[in-house]
Every structure is written in C-alpha cells, then in structure tokens.
A and B are shown apart, each in its own frame.
Chain A
C-alpha cells in the first residue's frame, strides 16, 4: 500500500469513528444543547469524509449550510423552548422496538452492501468539482434547481407565517 492510500485509510477510520461515536452520543445525551453540539461534531466529520470522496464543494457547503445555518437554527429552537432541554427519552418498550427496527435495517443494508457486485469505475475519479457542478446545475439540472429555489422560498415564507406571534 503506498503512502497516500495509507493516509486516506487512516483519515477514513479516524473521521468515520468520530462521526459514528458523536452520532451515538447525540442520540443518548438527554440534554438538548449537548445533543446539538454532538451533531455538529458528526456533521464536521462527514464534511471531512466528503473531502476524502473528492467532493470539495459539498464539504464546504456542508460546513456552511449544516454547521453554519441549520445547527444555529436548531440551537435557536432549543433556546426558544425553555424548560424543554431535558426531556426523558421514550418508554423502555418503544426504545427496544426502535433499537430492533434500526438494527434490522442496518443488518439488512450491510448484508446487501457487502454481497452486491457493484459496478466500480475503472479510473480513479479525482477532480475539482465546483466548476463541473455549476455547469451541471445550470444545464442538465436547471429545472430541479429552479424547483429547489421555489421550495426554499416557500419554506421561508411558510416558516415566517407559522412562527409569527399573532
């Protein structure tokens, strides 16, 4: 194994472990503020993994949109609902059921992933993606892009209307 592959492997395991551990910590910690901060750690690790997958634009948008905007929104929601930071989790029975469902989905998906014969790309794909993504978004995917813009506008207006104090 050459040195680059070794570094990639080490980086993958470090960030994958960080993502899964902080994701699990987010699920189990009862305090909502801690939960949100653990999710920030997960999102940051996922951004690093995007870099390993040669998705530079997505890694930066992950930091800007998820960590910068969505998580701030979540923290605002936590702070605007005082007295609600420390709600216990669901009853034991529902937790066991949820665990069974999640574990079953994980098991089935992993067995499919490992047994399926994926059609792998012969060449190594490693390009700066920003220019390519911009070209794609404004040519092939221009209709979905406009729909996404409309969706965002509708969501912002809807959020304003719903959250307004009458």
Chain B
C-alpha cells in the first residue's frame, strides 16, 4: 500500500484512474437517464486516460510518448461518441418523449 504522503509515484495514479473508472462503471450501470449514462462513460474514459498518461510518464517503453498519443485518440473517440450518442438520444426523445432507459423498449418489438 502507498502510505499517505509518500512521494507520488506510478501506483498513486493507477489507483486513482481505477477509482474513476469504477465510479463511472457504477454510474453507467445504475443511472436510468440515458444522458447520465453517457456522462458516466465519459468518466470511465477519463479514468483510462489517467492510466495511459501515468504509464507514459513512469514506465519504460519503446516510444516515449506512446501513452499520451493514445490518450489523444481516446479524447477524439470520446468526442465522436458523445456527438453520435446525443444525436441518438435526441432522436429517441422526439419519438418517445422520454430518455428513461427502461422505457426505451422499441427494439423489443
């Protein structure tokens, strides 16, 4: 265990990133509002980004900044995902007047 106020190292950031990821996972599974689920997914992506940047700084790798490059691509994908996700949510809202996930059973037939 990292003792409190030990010099901050890789493991501190890894534990933090994992905590953010788990919080986001809990939110994505437990919220009923579709927009809240999207927000939780953003939190999960951020947790992963913290891990990648921490690895880029602290661990040995062939390419020095590969972790940060990967984090940039994750931010790009998050932007694309948010745009398409919100467009889908708006379209569904127009159709059903709700974004409550357990009422969106159109696909059930």
Contact = CB atoms under 8 A, between A and B. Distances in A.
A163 B8 contact: no
B16 to A, nearest CB: 5
B23 to A, nearest CB: 5
Interface in A1-54: 1, 5, 8-9, 12-13, 16, 19-20, 23-24, 26-27, 32, 35-36, 39, 42-43, 46, 49-50, 52-54
B69 to A, nearest CB: 5
Contacts of B33: 32, 84, 87
Contacts, number: 246
Interface string B44-72: 00100110011011111001110011011
Most buried by B among A42, A81, A137: A81
Contact of A121 (B43, B58, B84, B89): B58
Given A35-B36, A42-B43, A99 B26 contact: yes
A111 to B, nearest CB: 10
Contact of B86 (A32, A76, A99): A76
B75 A61 contact: yes
A42 B11 contact: no
A61 to B, nearest CB: 6
| Chain B, interface SS category | helix
Size range of the chain A interface in the assembly: 35 or more
Given A19-B16, A46-B49, A84-B98, A9 B5 contact: yes
Contacts of B6: 9
B68 A106 contact: no
B107 interface: no
A27 B40 CA distance: 7
A133 B18 CA distance: 25
Given A12-B8, A26-B40, A87-B36, 7 more contacts: A26-B27, A27-B31, A78-B35, A106-B21, A114-B1, A118-B10, A133-B68
